[in-house]
Amino acid sequence: MTVIGPSLSGAKLWIMGGNMHKVATGDGARRLEISARRQGEFRRSEHVRAVEVFEVTAVKERTHVEMERVEGVGLAIVCPQWVDHAAEVVNFVSRQVDNARMGRVPLNALLEKIDEVRTETRRKHGNHPVFEQGFIDTISLIDDARDVAVPFGYYHGDLTLCNVLCDCEKNPPWGVALIDFLDMVLPTPLFDIAKIRQDTERMWITLFTPEVDPVRLTAIDDIVLENFSSYDWWDPWYPVFDLLNLLRLLPYAPPGRVTDWITAELERDQ
């Protein structure tokens, strides 16, 4: 048995019998159950698939998922073609935007979520002026954007590059396999764009894998901008999802370099 870890979400991962096992307990158990269900229901599209889920066992605040293990862990590290594969992921999100239904954002649900994240952030980090300003700015941006419709539809929910595994050697022509889906407060691919750009624009991934080349990240970011920045919702709504994405990391962020990184990113925008 090979143990993988530790992860920010607090889940435990190990390899046994050639398969990947993931277990979450307490608050994370329900999250993992929903995530595994969404991963299992994923419909293949061109070169993007989800890692196959074999079994989900959820008993009393403990969820155990057994899934296929993809060899080429960490697209951005192992695969020489990873910029092309990342472009496939951007295309996948782009198709979700194209197939989406346009609608107004339910403000109450969004504001309630922000309030919840703010309460959890204060519990974890106290009343930090930069974080408080981040929440104020988000609410004020929402107020300006409220009349502009956004796309609603299918999304991954936690589309960082670490959740995109390289699958091209074992399973050609499948370029990538997705893991670690997450349910969000609103079903919109805007969350996925913000998550990809957490790595490609803000370069979060270099905190954990410093060998990733920033020039390549910027190349992917250019593809993201090319695909999405001319939509009507981009200017009013993207900054909201981007900021909310950063703030949502805070309740999980341990003190030290992760929290310092988020603080610096928020300060850069204020």
Contact positions vs ligand ATP (CB under 6 A): 4, 7-9, 11, 13, 20, 22, 51, 67-70, 73-74, 162-163, 165, 179-180
Q: Which does 190 bind (CB under 5 to 8 A by kind): ligand ATP, Mg ion, none?
A: none
For 56, the 3-state DSSP assignment is strand
Q: Which does 13 bind (CB under 5 to 8 A by kind): Mg ion, ligand ATP, none?
A: ligand ATP
Distance CA 234, CA 228 (A): 7
Q: Which does 141 bind (CB under 5 to 8 A by kind): Mg ion, ligand ATP, none?
A: none
137-196 residues near Mg ion, rule: CB under 5 A: 163, 180
Q: Which does 69 bind (CB under 5 to 8 A by kind): ligand ATP, Mg ion, none?
A: ligand ATP
Count of residues engaged in binding Mg ion, rule: CB under 5 A? 2
Residue nearest to ligand ATP (CB): 7
Distance CA 224, CA 228 (A): 6
Give burial (CB, 10 Å; 0-12/13-18/19+) of 204. Answer: buried
Q: Which residue, 138 or 163, has its beta carbon nearer to Mg ion? A: 163
Distance CA 139, CA 240 (A): 8
Q: Which residue, 94 or 206, has its beta carbon nearer to ligand ATP? A: 206
Q: What's the farthest any 2 CA atoms get from each other in the chain?
A: 53
At CA 254, angle to CA 250 and CA 257, rounded to 5?
95
